[in-house]
Amino acid sequence: MSTVRVAINGYGTIGKRVADAVDAQDDMEVVGVTKTGPSFGCEMAVRKNFDIYCTSDDPDMIASFESSPFKCKGGLKDLLSISDVVIDCSPGKMGAENLGKYQDAGVKSIFQGGEKHSLTGLSYTSCANHSENYGAETTRVVSCNTTGLSRTLVPLYEHCGSLKVECTMIRRAADPGDSKKGPINAIKPVLKVPSHHGPDVMTVKPEIEINSLAVAVPTTIMHVHAIIADLPEGHGLSTESVIEMWKSSPRVIVMNGEGNRITTTAEVMEMARDIGRKWGDLHEIFVWEDGVRLMGNRLYYFQAIHQESDVIPENIDCVRALMEIEKNWQKSVKKTDDAISSYYNI
């Protein structure tokens, strides 16, 4: 079978990571990435041998590359004309404008969590609803927080058959490369209650009853979730068996915090840098083993989310779903993760 031709529209925090992850696979290839103009980031695309296109078809914007060292091969239309699927990694809320362009070009599309579910009417997480996305024209890979919640809650739901969840999202204020956002010396509650994060899980697994609160805190390196899940009577689980369940779930790392001296997000990120993935990324959700406790039917736990990277491998599985390459989500996850590991030699 020929490789799937993937366009990356928006080569920023998420786009550059998705491009590398696509490049790591043997069943898909990057046919081009887009930038608004010749700026920081283009050099990396050149080093990776990715063709650069402009996010726009406006001749003036395309011409802005002419006085730079970076060759722009054309506008978005030109890129779409040689693509099978586009992964939209533009800043949130630009999706509505872009979706029409993809549809006009007859190209399948994958959006990110900055867009609303209503844009596509379909959302995606590898472990929750890969098969529902099989062959779809357009979908949305849910946000980093929703992805993180799905990774630990879906296996629990699959075991229990029902689940009621309350969680508090302790959110990083900004990405490390973002100098515009805050707070820098305050804790900012999200006053829209419940926050959108928990209910967003229901776009991929409607059977899980979930609500959330959120606060933003002055850190750039990870989100932390404090989760309380009520399991149904007769769940048959113990603290130990829940931990074992997550240890055998893909893209979840369970580690003893005190024993390994990984008691904060700072050490989790240091461990991620040690693993050797580019940018110090951690695609997996990190659960503190000693922070898991099942008391009767009520389960308490904490998990940490590397906001810039947990959604990256999900985008790859999502390409396989839309392009009908692999129906079995576990097989896709394994193929994706093995390819990324050998790409970075880890």
Ligand X SMILES: NC(=O)c1ccc[n+]([C@@H]2O[C@H](COP(=O)([O-])OP(=O)(O)OC[C@H]3O[C@@H](n4cnc5c(N)ncnc54)[C@H](OP(=O)(O)O)[C@@H]3O)[C@@H](O)[C@H]2O)c1
Helix (H, G, I), strand (E, B) or coil at 50: coil
Which of 200, 284, 308, 317 binds ligand X (CB under 6 A)? It is: 308
> Does 144 qualify as catalytic in the annotation?
yes
Residue 35 φ then ψ, to 5° = -135, 155
Q: For ligand X, what does the binding mask look like between residues 75 and 114, x meaning CB under 6 A?
A: --------------xxxx-x---x-------------xxx
Residue in 144, 160, 167, 318 annotated catalytic: 144
Beta strands in the chain (DSSP E): 4-9, 28-35, 52-54, 85-88, 108-111, 123-124, 138-141, 164-172, 188-189, 209-217, 223-230, 252-255, 285-288, 293-295, 298-305
Q: Closest distance between ligand X and the C-beta of residue 196, in Å?
A: 12
8 A C-beta contact, residue 3 and residue 29: yes
Site for ligand X in 134-163 (CB under 6 A): 143-144
Site for ligand X in 41-70 (CB under 6 A): 41, 55
- Residue 168 is a binding residue for ligand X (CB under 6 A): no
Which of 7, 25, 31, 35 binds ligand X (CB under 6 A)? It is: 35
- Gyration radius of the chain over CA positions: 20
- For residue 135 the two structure tokens come to 């062959």
- Residue 301 is a binding residue for ligand X (CB under 6 A): no
Name the β-bridge partners of 223: 305
- Kindly report the number of other CB atoms within 10 A of residue 345's CB atom: 6
Which of 4, 10, 156, 323 binds ligand X (CB under 6 A)? It is: 10
- Residue 11 is a binding residue for ligand X (CB under 6 A): yes
Which of 6, 7, 13, 65 binds ligand X (CB under 6 A)? It is: 13
Part in contact with ligand X (CB under 6 A); list of ranges 35-43, 188-196, 241-249, 297-305: 35-43
CB nearer to ligand X: give 17 or 235.
17
Which alpha helices (DSSP H) does 24-114 contain, by range?
A: 42-47, 59-63, 76-80, 95-105
8 A C-beta contact, residue 62 and residue 54: yes
CB nearer to ligand X: give 114 or 218.
114
Q: Catalog residues that contact ligand X under the rule CB under 6 A.
A: 9-15, 34-37, 39, 41, 55, 89-92, 94, 98, 112-115, 143-144, 175, 307-308, 311
